[in-house]
Chain A
């Protein structure tokens, strides 16, 4: 076998580059183009095509921060699915409830961080309660679990409408998160030679940073800790994990708590960046479904990649072809399903 392989691979390397090197070159070239797009002063023809450098760079940055938000919601969703094979269609309701709780706590105490903590904690508890009282009773019955979660989401939406009515709420961010950052990116040069730098809301940068920190934290937890090991083992073979003496129900409860808590956390963070209103639950459920389908069910890395693709597609679509922007998201989903049905990082089962 190795003898047969030898000539072909040597002929390839004889051409100067291996497959790996070629990909590396492509990557380097892409990075160089992106760096040039961000840091160079654009010539007029490029400004003419892409409206303006400010519009383009802002759209990309917004895409990244939106991706951060989507990742926060979708990571909990994918974690729960990965372990329990259960599509929790009430995940969007958890997001919205977290946002409302964050609003109540923030407006009553005046401390935004307390609101964020409350959003996470309350929803984590609700997650555990849902796991114990709903999912444990329907274990192994995927269809019924899915139907029950749809039911929960409908009931929850109406209950929230009854309590908080149909108004639009804005969670007030603290002073130290207000204002804009001046980025070292020149968007234009005035006729007197002064450079115009890009300004960007500080809060959005914080959202992105939080998403990255949480993403890395989740990855470390899954790959470097004992609990993470159990979760991964559970994803691969639940029965075997249980047989080797691990309390599977406790693991399930932890995963549900983390997943639901992240949705609540995202609710408060997202509700501060954008706003809280009825209907957000469905929007974020749909977003996390698309993200998870594109990224691959049950993979944290996949959720990150999926969120990045969808976030960027939504924002760039909104600026350059607003009417058909929504289609772009679904084109990405359809192409993924056609080429790689299990998702970009998903394992074929």
Chain B
């Protein structure tokens, strides 16, 4: 019995030791939460590359202190994200946390953030609307934009320039794709388009052929908001089934994480219009130098994915704010959060600032998939939509009346 008590004590010290190490004055711990397992593994790994690009820019130091990155891994499910966040905050003792990656995770971590008011949370790439729009947390900041903002310009472009009047949607069944479909339909329906059929598929679904068969045959195009392996599966099976309707891509459907996949889906993707926070053929010098810095990370894609971009922007913001306060979070992060909310800086994709809900206002890029000179698929820049805010330019009270995004909202059959 005595031995067991000793053992428990020893274990306990082992567990608490890391948080005591925090007392060391010359390092600052930053938690990095991303999906290093599950269906979004590739996405999470690229997010890490982006975050590490920002850390490498300051040579791994901020305000004279060494940056120590503590990684937490989730599998894109909200409970795994909260578990990983709790581990980082309660066991590793981080006071600043960057993440998570996926929509539902963001909603869950925001709720967790409310219970830890002295820890500062900065988003990774999670892009569900209500992470910041409705019932936000005081200590959750999002310097990357949300999924509806990412769609700015696409609905109008599909209706006016492409001439699509009737579009069916296929998307995963959780908050981020709801937000993306909302963003697309907000413009598309307003322009006069119709969406007669919406298919919501469970995340991680492999066999889409039944879903493909159920898409009405008289639509002009199919809007696809699927990510990672799901997108690859859908596109391959769509090609196998002999699908001919052109596609419109959600932001992560035509991202580098999908465009670099091996297989026959490439033919289906060429010419697909989309919109998002990045464009691969962006000519701006800031973007080019970011691409060069990103390429130094191990295993980098030909061009950074939006996950690399999102994690970079959020990590960069974190480091800038930490620098302003001299790396001091001993006051429960009060000064840091003040600095963050006032922060406005130039990212590789233009100026970013925060609104009153601590959500970013930034430029959005309208793109089209083309084949690059080296045979890689790229998102060609079509148009920049400057400084898109969370309410998509609609006055806030009017925007709130549109209601919370879900499977059935909006609707224009």
Contact = CB atoms under 8 A, between A and B. Distances in A.
A315 B206 CA distance: 11
B213 interface: yes
B47 to A, nearest CB: 12
Contacts of B201: 318, 322
Interface stretch (B130-138, B149-157, B234-242, B356-364): B234-242
Contacts of B206: 274-275, 280, 283
A37 to B, nearest CB: 15
Interface in B194-214: 199-202, 204-207, 209-214
A323 B200 contact: yes
A6 B217 CA distance: 62
A280 B209 CA distance: 18
B173 A59 contact: no
A277 B209 contact: no
Nearest to A270: B206
Contacts of A179: 242
A168 B261 contact: yes
A62 interface: yes
Nearest to A204: B209
B37 interface: yes
Given A168-B228, A170-B261, A326-B202, A58 B233 contact: no
B210 A319 contact: yes
B232 interface: yes
Interface stretch (B38-46, B78-86, B91-99, B313-321): B38-46
A166 B49 CA distance: 14
A172 interface: yes
Contacts of B262: 107, 169-170
A201 interface: yes
Interface in B224-254: 228-229, 232-233, 236-237, 240-242
Contacts of B217: 54
B263 interface: yes
B200 A322 contact: yes
Contacts of A52: 214, 216
A66 interface: yes
A180 B241 contact: yes
B264 interface: yes
Contacts, number: 111
B14 interface: no
Given A170-B262, A278-B41, A55 B214 contact: yes
Contact of A203 (B207, B213, B240, B261): B240
A165 B46 CA distance: 12
A279 B204 contact: yes
B214 A166 contact: no
B285 interface: no
Nearest to A180: B242
Given A55-B210, A58-B210, A274 B233 contact: yes
A166 B264 contact: no
A66 B232 contact: no
A325 interface: yes
Interface string A156-193: 00000100011111101000001110000000000000
A199 interface: yes
Contact of B232 (A58, A170, A280, A316): A170
A55 B173 contact: no
A172 B199 contact: no
A322 B199 contact: yes
A59 B39 CA distance: 24
B210 A62 contact: yes
A166 B213 contact: no
B250 to A, nearest CB: 17
B261 A167 contact: yes
Interface in A252-287: 274-275, 277-280, 283
A326 B204 CA distance: 12
B299 interface: yes
A250 interface: no
Interface string B261-274: 11111000000000
A40 interface: no
B205 to A, nearest CB: 7
A69 to B, nearest CB: 9
13 contacts: A54-B217, A59-B210, A165-B42, A166-B42, A168-B229, A172-B263, A199-B241, A199-B242, A201-B240, A201-B241, A279-B38, A318-B207, A322-B211
Given A316-B210, A319-B210, 7 more contacts: A52-B216, A55-B210, A167-B261, A314-B207, A318-B202, A322-B201, A323-B407
Interface of B: 37-39, 41-42, 44-45, 173, 199-202, 204-207, 209-214, 216-217, 228-229, 232-233, 236-237, 240-242, 261-265, 299, 407
Interface of A: 51-52, 54-55, 58-59, 62-63, 66, 107, 161, 165-170, 172, 178-180, 199, 201, 203-204, 274-275, 277-280, 283, 314-316, 318-319, 322-323, 325-326
Closest 8 A/B residue pairs (Cβ):
A166-B41, A170-B263, A58-B213, A55-B214, A59-B210, A168-B229, A274-B206, A277-B229
